[in-house]
Homo-oligomer: A and B are copies of this chain.
Amino acid sequence: MKQPSRVFLREVVLRDGIQQENILLPLSKKLALIEALTEAGVRDLEITSFVNPEKVPAMADAEALFSRLPKEHQGVRYSALIFNEKGLDRARKAAAQEVAVFVSASDTHSRRNMGKGTRDALEDAVMLILKAKDAGIRVRAGVSNAFGCTLEGNVPGQVVLDLVGELMQPDPDEIGLADTSGIGNPCQMRDLIPACRGMIGDKRLSLHLHNAHGWAFANLLAALDMGVAHFDTSLGGTGGCPFLPGAAGNLPTEQVHSFLTAMGIHTGIDGQRLGSCVQLLRQMLVC
């Protein structure tokens, strides 16, 4: 594969970004940020998770947020992370266009994050994917901690590939691999991505790369070199998993955009407007 000429960035600041920062942004500010991002050309946004609001208070307004999304932005996809059937019901009622269903390759992380081990989480995920598809909702299914876990250390590639194989059974629309701990390296990318591709055929593959140790840009390059064209990024580099120690920071949308632009790869995003989004977020986080 060669580098793609067009890369698609999914903006996750309103889910992963503020979740980790534990910031309670009022609905009006979330909507203002969405407005600014879509005006900058962002066309794919994960904006919340349908999760127990007591566990993640920053996501408590999920329904309200979906109900007030700008109507005029045709071609913009809004997605949400779900963990269980209750989450799927909420997503369906809120008319979410896409749900993300992830299973952690680390049993320890899975128990902390989901309250159940990888095996049980996988069974639930397969059921959720089937039901979401039945409801006409696009499904991104994925493996978190696919490149290692700060709690468990090394995660064997075969564990990840076995999970991908099982997640493929209910035929999701996209497969995601997440370096949730930010400890994956380019050698792993170069092993796992082609192996994963071999299993999923031409189904879309997306990556979610955390930057806990500054390595995310190297992993981004390794993935680009193998033709991966879909990445999650977060405005300002905000984000991380609240249930993993030190799992700080996502790939910053603005830095990825400028990086890709410098390499002649298009994102469809206006860099200047994106810069304004960063300023807007900064003001929101200061207040």
Contacts and interface: CB of A to CB of B under 8 A. Distances in A.
A153 to B, nearest CB: 11
- Most chain B CB inside 10 Å of its own CB: which residue of A185, A187, A214: A214
A263 B220 CA distance: 15
A145 to B, nearest CB: 15
A125 to B, nearest CB: 28
Contacts of A183: 262
20 contacts: A183-B262, A185-B259, A185-B262, A185-B263, A187-B263, A187-B264, A211-B214, A213-B255, A213-B258, A214-B214, A214-B237, A214-B252, A215-B259, A215-B262, A217-B217, A218-B218, A218-B220, A218-B221, A218-B259, A221-B221
Contacts of A185: 259, 262-263
A91 interface: no
A186 B221 contact: yes
A263 B186 contact: yes
A51 interface: no
- Most chain B CB inside 10 Å of its own CB: which residue of A217, A220, A222: A217
A227 B185 CA distance: 17
A157 B264 CA distance: 16
A216 interface: yes
A216 B268 CA distance: 24
A255 B215 CA distance: 8
Interface string A205-233: 00000010111111011100000000000
A214 B263 contact: no
A213 B264 contact: no
Contacts of A214: 211, 214, 217, 237, 252, 255, 259
Contact of A216 (B211, B217, B237): B217
